[in-house]
Every structure is written in structure tokens, then in C-alpha cells.
């Protein structure tokens, strides 16, 4: 199975790109979604967070859900608290993503998209054959974020500056998608990429190699 890593800047269009893949029937492992799933009330991660950060970060009027905005504000300028938060959530996120990955591996899907904003920061890109970075000009990124999230310009700019420079991500990517045009143009670009991937032999070659490795294990086990 070929794993395609999808990343980019904040609000540069990753979700829009992944929705085109999804509509084409390609399974998506969405790191943002997983990060939300592991902190739903009742999970062990939720309980650890509540114990560590206190009740004020949970909305008991709405089922006790985590107040992500409030916690986000706390950790934005507090590296120590951010480290604690990551120490609690990251193992759970990694485990959940691994489970999803293994499930898809068994189903024999041709390729999957691994949608994660921090693909390069986390170092996962080293393990992934094909990486896609979607980008747009800084001003467009700020405007789209302000409009979508209803936040002031300074906050949008701060969120962009908190991430790895988009030029660095573009340099490391296998495929770069320019999203300075309109949404229909973006969708067309993604469809072209999907067409090329559908024709690619890479997943087939990976599958054969995987089959050889799987067959070799019992062979050597019984032989020696
Ligand atoms: N080409 C485009 N023209 C106009 N608006 C766009 C375009 N592409 C995306 N948008 C809009 O910009 C916003 C951000 O897009 P999207 O949510 O896909 O980005 P994202 O990279 O997934 O964001 P995040 O980093 O927050 O996960 C959305 O409101 C989306 O509708």
C-alpha cells in the first residue's frame, strides 16, 4: 500500500484536497480528527488531561468536552505546558493512527492519504513515499483563516509563524499544489494527481515486495 502524506500551511487547503481524495474512494487517516477522537470524554487520555489541567479546561455544560481553544491559548506561549499536553496526547494519537493504518493494510487498499499538518515537523515524511504540500500566498492564507475562523489578523499571522516555513515544506515535498486560484481549480489539480496515482505501478510493486517478505518469514522459520 502506498502512503501519501498530505500537508501544507494553516488554512492553505489541505481539507479541501483530502475531500477530493475521499470522494474518489481513497481512505484518509486524518491526524486532526484522530487528535479529537482520543480526547472524547471517557477515554484514558481525557481523564489524564482533566487531572493535569483541571476542570476549567472542560465544558461541563456540554458533556464535559475539552475546551480546545482555551487549552490552545494556554500552551501557545507556554512550552512547558505544551510538552505536558503532547506527552499525554501524542502516544494515544500515534497508537490510534497505527490501528487505522494496520486495518487499511489488511483490507488491501491501493493507497491511502495521511493528512497531517505537522508531517514534516514530526519527521513522519521520512517514512512516507510520496508527500504532497498544498500552499498559497501568505496574504491569502491570512485572509482565508480570518474568514473561516473569525479571528483577527494578528492571530492568523501568529498561527502561521508558529509552523515550519512553507518554503521549507515545499522543498521537501514530492508534489507541490499551488492553491492561489479558486476552489474549482484546486479540485481539478487534485483530480489530475489522482489520475496519475491510479496509473502508478508503485503500490503494485510495494504489494509484491510485502508479499515476498511475508512469505519469507515462515519459509526461514521452518527451514532453520
Ligand atoms: N482556492 C480557494 N479559494 C478560496 N477559498 C479557499 C480555497 N481553498 C480553500 N479555501 C477556503 O479556505 C479555508 C481553509 O481551507 P481548508 O480548511 O481546506 O484548509 P486546511 O489547510 O485544511 O486548514 P487547517 O490548516 O486549519 O486544517 C476554507 O474556508 C476553505 O473553504
User: How many C-beta neighbours within 10 Å does residue 60 have?
Assistant: 9
ipTM of the complex: 0.96
Quick one: 16 and 62 in the same domain? no
d(CA 184, CA 149): 22
Give me the domain span that covers residue 208: 1-27+110-224
Q: If you ran DSSP here, which 8-state letter would residue 115 be given?
A: E
Is position 85 within any domain? yes
Cβ-contact 178, 132 below 8 angstroms? no
Tens of pLDDT, residues 15-68: 999 999 999 999 999 999 999 999 999 999 999 999 999 999 999 999 999 999
Tens of pLDDT, residues 108-165: 788 899 999 889 988 888 888 899 999 999 999 999 999 999 999 999 999 999 899 9
- Residue 140 Cβ < 6 Å to ligand 1: no
- The rounded mean pLDDT for the chain is 91
Is position 142 within any domain? yes
- Of 39 and 198, the one with more pLDDT: 39
Is position 37 within any domain? no
Quick one: 101 and 203 in the same domain? no
Closest-lying ligand 1 atom to the alpha carbon of residue 181: 1
Rounded to the nearest 5 percent, the helix, strand and coil shares of the chain are 65, 15, 25
On the question of pLDDT at 204 being above 80, the answer is: no
Q: Give the pLDDT confidence score for residue 203 in this predicted structure.
A: 64
Quick one: 174 and 125 in the same domain? yes
Q: Give the pLDDT confidence score for residue 130 in this predicted structure.
A: 92
- Residue 33 Cβ < 6 Å to ligand 1: no
Amino acid at each position: 500500500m502506498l502512503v501519501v502524506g498530505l500537508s501544507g500551511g494553516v488554512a492553505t487547503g489541505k481539507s479541501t484536497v483530502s475531500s477530493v481524495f475521499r470522494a474518489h474512494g481513497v481512505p484518509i487517516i486524518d491526524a486532526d480528527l484522530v487528535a479529537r477522537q482520543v480526547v472524547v470524554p471517557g477515554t484514558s487520555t481525557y481523564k489524564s488531561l482533566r487531572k493535569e489541567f483541571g476542570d476549567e479546561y472542560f465544558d461541563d455544560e456540554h458533556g464535559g468536552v475539552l475546551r480546545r481553544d482555551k487549552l490552545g491559548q494556554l500552551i501557545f506561549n507556554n512550552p512547558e505546558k505544551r510538552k505536558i499536553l503532547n506527552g499525554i496526547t501524542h502516544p494515544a494519537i500515534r497508537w490510534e493512527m497505527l490501528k487505522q493504518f494496520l486495518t487499511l493494510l489488511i483490507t488491501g487498499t491501493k493507497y491511502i492519504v495521511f493528512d497531517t499538518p505537522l508531517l514534516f515537523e514530526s519527521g513522519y515524511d521520512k517514512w512516507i513515499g510520496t508527500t504532497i504540500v498544498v500552499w498559497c500566498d501568505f496574504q491569502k492564507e491570512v485572509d482565508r483563516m480570518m474568514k473561516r475562523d473569525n479571528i483577527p489578523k494578528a492571530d492568523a499571522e501568529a498561527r502561521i509563524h508558529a509552523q515550519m516555513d512553507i518554503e521549507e515544506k515545499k522543498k521537501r515535498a514530492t508534489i507541490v499544489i499551488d492553491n492561489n486560484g479558486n476552489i474549482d481549480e484546486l479540485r481539478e489539480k487534485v483530480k489530475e494527481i489522482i489520475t496519475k496515482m491510479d496509473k502508478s505501478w508503485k503500490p503494485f510493486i510495494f504489494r509484491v515486495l510485502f508479499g515476498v517478505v511475508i512469505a519469507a518469514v515462515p519459509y526461514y522459520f521452518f527451514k532453520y
